[in-house]
């Protein structure tokens, strides 16, 4: 028997008095701001000073709470980071919750509080939202979809179009921690306390990188598909080979060990607090220094370079042992429901 | 055994090669446009000519396809209509799909085609998106979350703040058809072929209403919670009584009959192609005429008026029988998963 004060009921999604009370008592007080509070059909934002960037992500991570974060922090960071790597300053988010009947109200409240805290950390406002309820299932609890808008300064054009042979490939810190932390929590592994998700809002770090030098050509956050996925995209879109030194890729011993235990290649594991950048060779050291001066970029490293044009562009890893191996985009389901 | 060419697999959500192919082959060709095609982390839109309106909705309707529409058409219209009733011209949508393992690829393709057709009808572009896959459950198939941005002309301020005693309350057509059509389809009722959802993009109709007269004070689409929910909000927010004539509320005989069979009050049933407007008394006939001249507003009617201020504001229905009854916001779960 479900209790309406302790658990989410299907009736909480009907759009009536119970919906109004759930939001008014449990959700809105934590997110309060002048855009959201009127509870109109949408939020009105001032006329922006640049072009508009629009992005969205759906989050289905299991478990909802994991070492270093939760689905709420993940949702805010995922959308903020997508805007940041476009070069846009994140301004406002929308928040759509799909709750499963039976979800503990206390869990909902913790996750909404985490959303509010992460939005404040990133300097964005949760401007509008929607809540629905679906029947009880496997006890998944909730999915969150955020969309975000940011302002893109006129003249800033990041992308693969200007990438040239010799450009440096940089990553802002140790890889694979988000995916490994979630997988460890899911499997109940004993070392799970040591490994924490890197989930963090990257707009501050990206701002520092862009301010450091004009030669930043391309930015991407290596989430699903990991570093390997971003490098494969880079090669495919630029029609150039990409060469990466295995030894240069930041990876903590605990992450390396965990990946080995789980049988995963860290290159394909999701990150939620890292950026891959392609930078003109003359500016690479400046951008690296800017990263290292930022709390979220202390372990940044130049990991490789963009090679020649090719009809069959490849990502090659120069291995620790002195060999070469081709890095491929992961095929399918290595890590389902990681974000 | 699931077949990757015919059904969605968990692996389709991993962010690897299978994800890329599902999108490239099944989804993107139908939605193709220059904002979406680069498949970057977000879409870049031109600097807008007014303030920005941001809105979002999650859609969990069951069944996915129903007489008169489907979850895809519903998602586009729901977001377009939220922008329209804010007074904003809808410009771009984001589209987040959460697919259930086992969903037929053919169903996904039909719904994506419906999204594309409805977006074209509304004159908006699907500018960016995301796709995730979750484990097989009750066979629900999919949920869709859309967010939308629109341009709000400077100087246009719709809302309850300027509503005054004597203002007319207008509805743009017959009520309750969306909710009744979905419920009928769900229950497999024999009359389901007669009743169709009213789901439609309302930005054209709203544009005609706003152009007809300056006295449009407030607009709202009566979705979850129905007409009763909007009228309850109106009374609560204006601290005024609202009086509605039962006989004046447009309702088709088939909808009335279906509501009786299902034991539902049509006033509380969701609409997805109607607008409730509050209009200054001197402009009400002009706005009514503009509605009736539009294909989606032919059955528009003035259904009541805004009354005096009150400490306990009520919505009163003047019944066909000559009595009065208080209209309340529905409490909970009369119609779960209707949108």
Q: What is the pTM of this model?
A: 0.94
Cβ distance A17 to B330 less than 8 Å, yes or no, reads yes
**CB-closest option in B137, B147, B268 to A56:** B147
Evaluate whether A220 touches A230 at the Cβ level (below 8 Å).
yes
pLDDT class of B338 with cuts at 50, 70, 90: confident
Strand-strand pairing, A168-171 and A125-134: unpaired
Q: Is the pLDDT of residue A188 over 80?
A: no
Please choose, from the candidates B153, B128, B314, the residue with its C-alpha nearest in 3D space to the C-alpha of residue B239: B314
Please give, rounded to a whole number of angstroms, the shortest distance from the CA of A159 to a CA of chain B: 9
- A219: three-class secondary structure by DSSP: strand
Nearest residue of A to residue B226, measured between CA atoms: A15
Does the domain formed by A40-152 have CATH 3.40.50.300?
no
Partner residues linked to A130 by β-bridges? A96
CA distance A94 to B82: 13
Q: Sign of the CA dihedral B131, B136, B137, B141?
A: positive
Give percent of chain B with pLDDT exceeding 70: 97
CA distance A150 to B84: 22
Cβ distance A15 to B223 less than 8 Å, yes or no, reads yes
Cβ distance A147 to B96 less than 8 Å, yes or no, reads yes
Tens digits of per-residue pLDDT, B154-178?
889 899 999 999 999 999 999 999 9
- Is any Cβ of chain B less than 8 angstroms from the Cβ of A40? yes
Nearest residue of B to residue A47, measured between CA atoms: B51
Mean pLDDT, rounded, for B300-321 = 96
pLDDT class of B19 with cuts at 50, 70, 90: confident
Cα–chain-centroid distance for residue A214?
A: 24
Cα–chain-centroid distance for residue A323?
A: 32
To probe the interface with A, which of B47, B48, B54, B227 has the most A CB atoms within 10 Å? B54
Cβ distance B43 to A20 less than 8 Å, yes or no, reads no
Alpha helices (H) in chain A, listed in sequence order = 17-22, 28-31, 71-85, 105-122, 177-187, 203-212, 226-238, 253-262, 284-292
- Is any Cβ of chain B less than 8 angstroms from the Cβ of A140? yes
Partner residues linked to A45 by β-bridges? B52
| A40-152 and A160-327 in the same fold | no
Q: What is the mean pLDDT of chain B?
A: 92
**CB-closest option in B48, B133, B147 to A147:** B147
Count of Cβ atoms closer than 10 Å to residue B253 Cβ: 8
R_g of chain A computed on alpha carbons: 21
Strand-strand pairing, A216-220 and A142-152: unpaired
Count of Cβ atoms closer than 10 Å to residue B189 Cβ: 16
Evaluate whether A280 touches A207 at the Cβ level (below 8 Å).
no
- Is any Cβ of chain A less than 8 angstroms from the Cβ of B83? yes
Strand-strand pairing, B315-318 and B240-245: parallel
Residue B296: CB partners within 8 Å, gap ≥ 6?
B172, B173, B200, B202, B204, B205, B273
Please give, rounded to a whole number of angstroms, the shortest distance from the CA of A2 to a CA of chain B: 14
Evaluate whether B163 touches B306 at the Cβ level (below 8 Å).
yes
Chain A residues near residue B43 by CB distance under 8 angstroms: 53-55
Chain A residues near residue B15 by CB distance under 8 angstroms: 223-225, 229, 270, 330
Chain A residues near residue B153 by CB distance under 8 angstroms: none
pLDDT class of B336 with cuts at 50, 70, 90: confident
Q: Is the pLDDT of residue A15 over 80?
A: no
Please give, rounded to a whole number of angstroms, the shortest distance from the CA of B48 to a CA of chain A: 7
Alpha helices (H) in chain B, listed in sequence order = 17-22, 28-31, 71-85, 105-122, 177-187, 203-212, 226-238, 253-262, 284-292
Where along chain B do its domains lie?
40-152, 160-327
Cβ distance B51 to A44 less than 8 Å, yes or no, reads yes
Tens digits of per-residue pLDDT, B178-237?
999 999 888 777 555 589 999 999 999 999 999 999 999 999 999 988 999 999 999 999
Record: fold of B160-327? Phosphoribosyl-aminoimidazole Synthetase; Chain A, domain 2 (3.90.650)
To probe the interface with B, which of A15, A84, A129, A270 has the most B CB atoms within 10 Å? A15
Evaluate whether B165 touches B306 at the Cβ level (below 8 Å).
yes
Tens digits of per-residue pLDDT, B86-140?
999 999 999 999 999 999 999 999 999 999 999 999 999 999 999 999 988 766 7
**CB-closest option in B41, B129, B147 to A85:** B41
Count of Cβ atoms closer than 10 Å to residue A132 Cβ: 25
């Amino acid at each position: 028997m479900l209790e309406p004060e302790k658990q989410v009921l299907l009736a909480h999604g009907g759009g009536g008095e119970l919906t109004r009370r759930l939001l008014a008592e449990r959700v809105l007080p934590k997110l309060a701001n002048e855009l959201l509070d009127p509870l109109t059909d949408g939020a009105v934002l001032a006329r922006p000073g640049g072009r508009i960037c629009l992005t969205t992500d759906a989050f289905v991570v299991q478990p909802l709470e994991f070492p270093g974060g939760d689905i709420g922090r993940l949702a805010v960071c995922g959308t903020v980071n997508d805007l940041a790597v476009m070069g846009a300053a994140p301004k406002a988010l929308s928040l759509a919750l799909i709750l499963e009947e039976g979800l503990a109200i206390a869990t909902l409240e913790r996750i909404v509080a985490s959303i509010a805290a992460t939005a404040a950390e990133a300097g964005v406002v949760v401007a509008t939202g929607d809540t629905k309820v679906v029947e009880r299932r496997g006890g998944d609890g909730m999915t969150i979809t955020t969309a975000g808008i940011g302002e893109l300064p006129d003249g800033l054009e990041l992308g693969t179009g200007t990438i040239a042979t010799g450009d440096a490939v940089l990553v802002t810190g140790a890889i694979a921690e988000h995916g490994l932390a979630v997988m460890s929590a899911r499997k109940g592994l004993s070392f799970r306390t040591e490994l924490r998700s890197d989930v963090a809002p990257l707009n501050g770090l990206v701002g520092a990188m862009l301010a450091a030098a004009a030669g930043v050509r391309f930015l991407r956050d290596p989430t699903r598909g990991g570093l390997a996925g971003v490098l494969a995209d880079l090669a495919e879109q630029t029609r150039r080979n990409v060469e990466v030194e295995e030894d240069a890729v930041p990876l903590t011993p605990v992450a390396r060990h965990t990946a080995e235990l789980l049988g995963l290649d860290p290159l394909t594991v999701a990150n939620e607090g890292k950026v891959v950048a392609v930078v003109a060779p003359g500016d690479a050291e400046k951008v690296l220094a800017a990263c290292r001066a930022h709390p979220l970029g202390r372990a940044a490293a130049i990991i490789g370079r963009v090679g020649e044009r090719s009809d069959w562009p490849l990502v090659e890893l120069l291995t620790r042992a002195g060999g070469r191996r081709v890095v491929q985009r992961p095929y399918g389901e290595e890590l389902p429901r990681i974000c």
